[in-house]
Amino acid sequence: MKIATKTLVSLLIITALTISSSSFASATNGNGMRREPRIERITRKHDRKLELTADILGISSEQLKEELKVSSFDQVLKKHGFKTREDFRTALSGKIKDELKKRGWSDEKIQKVVDHRLARMHEKD
């Protein structure tokens, strides 16, 4: 996988934020808009070539691009065994953690970075 480590960390932060927002109140920002569209945009930006998404689905990025031309992302997820986007995000988080571990990161370092960045994000709110 050719995604930069810094980008993987950013994606991990976004997925951790998404997974941790269990209620609508925590999934909204100050003006009541849902964070979902923002999170989806950030994920699309960092996984432009769809390498990470395709790897989780067990297909090639070219095949994923073809499937997305004819059906929605939710339909593609269901076709490949994911019932909801939340299930996919959980798998995405695990995949990113595995990739970081391959690059020499420990569980403690991953958790420390996630906790630190989430704390900074909550301070801004």
Instruction: Determine the pLDDT at residue 46.
Output: 83
Q: Is the pLDDT of residue 71 over 90?
A: yes
CA–CA separation, 79 and 18 (whole Å): 23
Q: Is the pLDDT of residue 91 over 70?
A: yes
Per-residue confidence band for 54, with pLDDT thresholds at 50, 70 and 90: very high
Give the CA distances from residue 38 to residues 1, 61, 100, 101, 104, in Å, rounded to whole numbers and listed in that order. Answer: 24, 23, 24, 27, 30
Token pair of 101 as six digits = 């571990």
pTM equals 0.78
pLDDT by residue (tens digit) across 6-34? 989 988 888 887 776 643 334 444 554 55
